[in-house]
Chain A
Amino acid sequence: MIDLPKKEVDVLVIGSGAAGAISAWDSAVKGLDVSMIGVGTPATEMSSGCIRFNDDRSVPEGLGLDRGDLEDAFSRAERFLIDEMKTSGLKMEGARRDQGRYYRCHGTIVPENIVQGPTSSGGLDRIEGERICVIGFEDRTEFDHRLFAKALAQRSDLRVEHIAVGTTNGVLRNSSVDDLLDMFVDAAGSASGEVVFVPPFISLKDIDRWEELEKRSGRKFAEPVMDLGMPGARLRDALISSASRAGVSITNGASIVGMSISKGSLNEVTVRSGHRLQHIECGAAVFCGGGLVGGGLGVSGKDVIDPLGLFDVRYLREGDGIDILARASSGGIRTGPGLEAIVDGEKVRNLFVAGASLPGMNIVEGNGIGDAMATALLASKAATEASR
């Protein structure tokens, strides 16, 4: 294939999770021309949307990062979460516990997140009716029917009520699926809704029971199925829209296939977009491709590797290979001291690594997204300087 037209950018950010997004945002607000490419679902999107900043700085300090710089980066990342996420429509609230600061996002459920029902209905757009009833258990908080009702009521074309079924934990423990079915039929009888959402106790594949429910009560039944990673997905959307507002050019679904490095300097990154290749000349690049979970790193034999097999790697925990996964999960791309990548034993002056790709920062090791974001701000600062 013919190559795509060559592109020139000041900073290329590889990876579009939390680290990539904040890094790209930071360089872009400083006035640089920034491109960000990413592929796959980053760990940020699979997360619970809760961001932890560890009090213990030993892992990032172990990468050779200056304590003062780190403190500055941590507080800037926390400010970013509060201010920028608010502009992106996400309210983050911080709280201190367990040797860290935790930020959670609020109000993340929107009607579109309630994705499916079992039989005749399916997808909120296919709900046949305007009056909805959500049934829940009074004393079971794991299914919050009021929250679901509130989320559904955001749609102005729906009228939503909620009903609590009186029960105790004991009743649920001793109830068979058919007992629950009777309870739902009774409760639906007192509801005015045409479509009744019930707690997730009947398998979505158990078509016979769903049909029985509908037959006995004369109403449509559905189960509000929510994506597990939904708060994480909303967090990621907000991060991406912050980067986009700052002027970052974002390409999803493209991946790096090569880097041209000579004399300790990165000149060009080759990117695959569909059937075609593009050469991107960049002043500096930041690799935020993620760790083992986000797919930025992989395991080959006993070793952690990056997708290009290009970078040198380092392990924080040495081992004889019995505990391969533990060893691999403490591993990452070797840098520094600082965040400059090491390739073939040599520092590359304008290629930086941040986030879960760094040794000890892997999500498996549990160092938290906050620490990943702080290192990303240090990487973007270095990249911004190196690209000038």
Chain B
Amino acid sequence: MSEEDRCIRCGSCMRACPVVSTFGESVFPGPRSLAVDAPRTGKPMSMDELLKCSICMMCRDACPSRIDLPRSILALRAANRRGTLRPGHKRLVENIDSYGYSVRPDEGVHGPYPCKGPTTCLFPGCISRWRRPEILDDAAYVLRSNGTEVACPEDLVCCGSPLEKIGEHERRERLVDRNFPILEKFERVVTTCPGCAGQIVGYGIDAMHIVEYLYEVVGVEHLVSGLDGKGLKIAVHMPCHLNRDVGPHTKEYVHSILGAIPGLKVVEYPEEDRCCGAGGSLLSGFPEMAAALAKGKASAADRAGADLIVTSCPFCVVNLTNAGTMRTLDIVSLLRTASNR
């Protein structure tokens, strides 16, 4: 019996899907239609339909039969990819071929800490290296001020996650071959991006997302001593790949850290775990859909009375900032802000 044959047609995955509930099945057929029904009935699917999934993994967690629907959707993308990528995805592939990054390097930004000596590597990742360099900077600052010096080698390239999402497995392997020999020399690899953390674990290297490192290695008490939340009211956005790929323990970590910062108030709202729309190549493929999802998320946080959204993923920061309605900070940037009195 194949995994998909365990489907009991309860509809839980369809209800959990943020793309279906926002745009309707006429825009996106949904996880069950794509991963279970279409392969079973031999119905052809367009690559566009497959690419509208944000790989948020909410369907996988909702499935009572434990079908890994996102994995099936990724496999279908890989099997279905010939010449049908979106313009944004073609650009992404070109960037990786030319520069080794999914985004075009900005000349104003320079690789930050090409130092030798530290045994901990801060993996830069495309977005925090080139689009949001302040997040990388803030991460290094927070680690250093808590006793961890980090190296950030210049030669590291894209982790390969965006290529996996569009079925470009050979290209991804080439990136792995470039990153692996650099990373394996370190005792510890820490990332700011949950997508990078998951990919590097896939290399066979024990990478940690920075939230895991701060909680488990630095410790909450040490981390928050002397911080001041300045009366800010924040809404947490749990990144999908942190919460559901790196693991749900990170949700407890994020709340333990933020809850321990004096003068910071975390507001509750039901959409905390809901996808912002950036992932799974949705932002690069269908930016208007990613923006609509981000806007919904931001207005939910707004309704809950938050001053700003705090997340733990540079890509989510980019997409939620694009929504334009709520200020969004990465957790490392918030920690740095809270340390300046």
Contact = CB atoms under 8 A, between A and B. Distances in A.
Interface of A: 1-2, 4-5, 39-43, 45-46, 112, 115-119, 122-123, 125-126, 204-205, 207, 225, 227-229, 233, 249, 251-255, 273-276, 278, 290, 293-295, 298
A243 to B, nearest CB: 15
Interface string B160-190: 0000000000000000000000000000000
B244 A249 contact: no
Interface string B248-279: 11111000000000000000001000000000
Contacts of B12: 40-41, 45-46, 229
A212 to B, nearest CB: 15
A118 B66 contact: no
A40 B66 contact: yes
B226 to A, nearest CB: 24
Interface in B41-73: 61-66
B198 interface: yes
Given A116-B24, A118-B26, A40 B15 contact: no
Contacts of B21: 115-116, 123
A229 B248 contact: no
B295 A125 contact: yes
B4 interface: no
A253 B22 contact: no
A122 B27 contact: yes
Contacts of A4: 216, 247, 249
A252 B249 CA distance: 9
B249 to A, nearest CB: 4
Nearest to A39: B61
B248 A252 contact: yes
A123 B66 contact: no
Given A41-B64, A276-B247, A2 B11 contact: no
17 contacts: A1-B201, A5-B216, A40-B64, A43-B64, A122-B27, A125-B295, A125-B300, A126-B22, A126-B296, A252-B61, A253-B248, A274-B247, A275-B198, A275-B201, A290-B64, A293-B10, A295-B66
B23 interface: yes
B24 A117 contact: yes
B235 interface: no
A290 to B, nearest CB: 7
Given A40-B66, A294-B64, A273 B8 contact: no
A116 B251 CA distance: 29
A204 B245 contact: no
B97 interface: no
Interface in B1-50: 6, 8, 10-12, 15-16, 20-27
B249 A251 contact: yes
Contacts of A233: 15
Given A4-B249, A274-B247, A275-B247, 8 more contacts: A40-B66, A41-B62, A46-B12, A122-B27, A126-B292, A251-B248, A251-B251, A295-B64
B33 to A, nearest CB: 11
